[in-house]
Structure 1
């Protein structure tokens, strides 16, 4: 431990669960005040630098001397057992675990699928999906209704399935396996089984697309690689794993939390229902406020680096707490207030630097369409349970809520 951490924080293991559903753990704030760069113990064992300040976080995420390669010694793996770690090290790395030229090439290969132009062409289809799911909500007599299953989960799941060419009829399968993989309370055996079953499913999917291509991202990737003579079946399976799991889990949780945030701040909701032009700003603020993927931005130093007045040695792990950084009062005035008119495009909910989330503009568009459409079509929507009684995912790597009862 560094000497700058005092009192109750000196023996703290991180990360810790959020005590309040709308705020970071109090320990994060105290760490940020005492030492925004601090060496701490990790709940999964070992130690790493914990980075809680916004300025220091951006500096690390933009610095190529910090590696994203999970296979490197010293990389801080939170709540990953030894068997899963060995499995990760023998499989082709996911894009989020690549560095330098390898990462740039892998990202460039799929970047065209997420351009503003291509996403704009998707907007009418996403709008149609959202309207159809809300039609189903309005057609049922059941009250209360679980908004997670009725809208928040199916919209991003159907969108990513159509983009990737994954049969939506299989959504229960991959959603259930993803849920096991991202829960800290899942046993090592269950987590390994979920990973293995997902990879086996995607291996079969890529094999079928190699022989029967369609009009989807992976069929286009296969055609490009064949033309270049670089067909990489295992690499495509890893890409499929990343895009499928990341493409629905984070957005689904943000939709649910965004609805909770707006319903519990009716004066903020009134601002965007009166002027939907403010919805894009509201989405950015909700992303900052909840920061569902808090500790996934881990790195390991490849050489000695001076950051925030601290010397990080080569081989030392670093975990950037995006949640803490997004609540840094030096950057975001009154961070505990949800303010949909706040201009916060510099938040770290999508990361920063070369690994900034590839699908961030798709997520923004889905959130904007859902929020505008839901509150326009069901203006009397309200929570059917007290916030403190909702089943928040305090044990998950990606924060959210398991179910969200609503009525109108």
Structure 2
């Protein structure tokens, strides 16, 4: 039986969501794999431990209890074997780099231009709410086939689903302590069903090139489609993780560049540096910070810690990306650091299917922003506040520029 360090027993969900870094810095130093009572699960916090668990045959994917309560089953992030293979075969074709390259510019650039033109004359903006998030949700929404759903509604959905999915705090009996957060997710899902069900009715008999239409039809025998109840959990995954990741990655990259004015100037002057800046932004503040888990298939040992069969291990990729064993001065944003791969998109056979798509949305979004407003600067009258443990990014980022 692994003993829990006394200080870990006092960790609260509130401090993890407000600022998880001090807790995870201590975990990496003292207990790279540790049982955290407030989460009722083990947590892997170092890069080595996260990668080992994510790629080991001793573990398989499982969705966290709060995630299962939010998404239902079978969600692509929490299944294995034939079901996982089928769901990956359902979503991956449209996300292959060669396929994305075919349409990504025509999809994202007009969206980005529309939103940057909407703020250009104002001289100031909350760049998260008025640009990064709208560009992100609109790009994925249009790809999925949800062009009729407003960007504000898509943003509302992913915020509500996030509140529900990250409602991880449990009491000593393993019961959730805050049911209101699940109510927010339930309300979002009810709205999603009311809008998407009629669209599915149409796509069943009139398929088109939207992603959800392909999910229904691709790989199925002639005249058959996948059942909507089968695809909804994965749609909820996309409406949360895939919706928020590019937007929050853009916002974190901008916030990081603001801490390094010379690097900001270099990136604006030379857009070819943007992919490197985006990669550093995702490492510095991972949008999916600690939202995936694995379950031990047998008794095993990770980082010297005994993990029993059936134990759940949460993979903290945000912590792994601040591991001093891998990165020098990891709390600093630095575009010039050696290009060591990060874990913001996970690892193993459950690594994010949309890696290339997300990076291209970020690249095009920041290209348009910096080309149109090259004198962008942070409004120092407002603090930059980050929030979140499962998903993390700036809650707001006030910027200004000379018009």
Q: TM-score range by the shorter chain?
A: 0.7 to 0.9
Instruction: Find the residue that maps to 1:298 and give its secondary structure.
Output: strand
Tell me the alpha carbon deviations over residues 236-272 of structure 1, each in whole angstroms, 9 at most, x when there is no partner.
Answer: 3333322233222122122222211112221221232
**Aligned equivalents of 1:299, 1:406: Cα separation in 2:** 39
Give distance in 1, aligned partners of 2:87 and 2:4.
41
Compare 249-258 and 337-346 and name the one that shifted more.
337-346
In structure 1, which of residues 279, 285, 289 is the aligned counterpart of residue 280 of structure 2?
285
Separation (CA, whole Å) in 2 of partners of 1:330 and 1:51: 15
Which residue does 2:171 correspond to in 1?
none
Matches within 5 A, 1:96-111: 96-111=77-92
Match of 1:17 in 2: 16
| Secondary structure of residue in 2 paired with 1:145 | strand
1:245 to 240, 244, 254: 240
Unaligned runs of 5+ in 2: 168-177
Structure 1: where are the runs of 5+ without partners? 71-75
Give the structure 1 partner of residue 5 of structure 2. 5
1:196 to 190, 193, 200: 190
Residues matched between the structures, number: 385
Task: Identify the residue that residue 398 of structure 1 maps to in structure 2.
Answer: 391
Q: CA RMSD in A?
A: 2.6
* Superposed counterparts of 1:30-69, under 5 Å: 30-43=26-39, 47-69=40-62
> 1:69, CA displacement in angstroms?
3.1
1:221 to 2:215 alignment: yes
Q: For residue 269 of structure 2, what is the aligned residue in structure 1?
A: 274
User: 8 Å contact 1:284–1:345 — kept in the other structure?
Assistant: no
SS at match of 1:38: strand
Aligned partner (choices 127, 137, 160) of residue 157 of structure 1: 137
Measure the CA separation in 2 of the matches of 1:41 and 1:146. 37
2:93 equivalent among 109, 112, 131? 112
**Secondary structure of the corresponding residue to residue 33 of structure 1:** helix
Shift of 1:273: 2.6
Alpha-carbon shift at residue 54 of structure 1 (Å): 0.6
Partner of 1:128: 110
Q: 1:99, CA displacement in angstroms?
A: 0.7
Mapped partners of 2:181, 2:49: distance in 1 = 34
Structure 1 range deviating more: 330-339 or 349-358 = 330-339
Q: TM-score, normalised by structure 2?
A: 0.86
C-alpha contact 1:61 1:353 (8 A) present in aligned 2: yes
Matched residue of 1:342: which SS? coil
Structure 2 distance, partners of 1:14, 1:132, is: 38
Deviation at 1:329, TM superposition (A): 0.7
**Secondary structure of 1:341's match?**
coil
Q: Which residue of 1 aligns with 2:128?
A: 148
**What is the CA deviation profile of residues 252-311 of structure 1, one whole-angstrom value per residue up to 9, with x for unaligned ones?**
122222211112221221232333222211111110000121221212212112211222
Counterpart CA distance in 2 for 1:270 and 1:172 is 31
Q: What does 1:168-183 correspond to in 2, within 5 Å?
A: 168-183=148-163
Over 3 Å counting, the alpha-carbon distance change for 1:361 and 1:135 in structure 2 is same
Deviation at 1:370, TM superposition (A): 2.1
How far the C-alpha of 1:144 sits from its partner, in A, is: 2.6
> SS state of the match for residue 313, structure 2?
strand
1:379 maps to 374
Distance 1:154 1:192 in 2: 22
Q: In 1, are the aligned partners of 2:43 and 2:316 still within 8 Å (CA)?
A: yes
2:312 alignment partner, one of 312, 317, 331: 317
Matched residue, 1:73: none
User: TM (normalized to structure 1)?
Assistant: 0.85
CA distance in 1, matches of 2:124, 2:44: 41
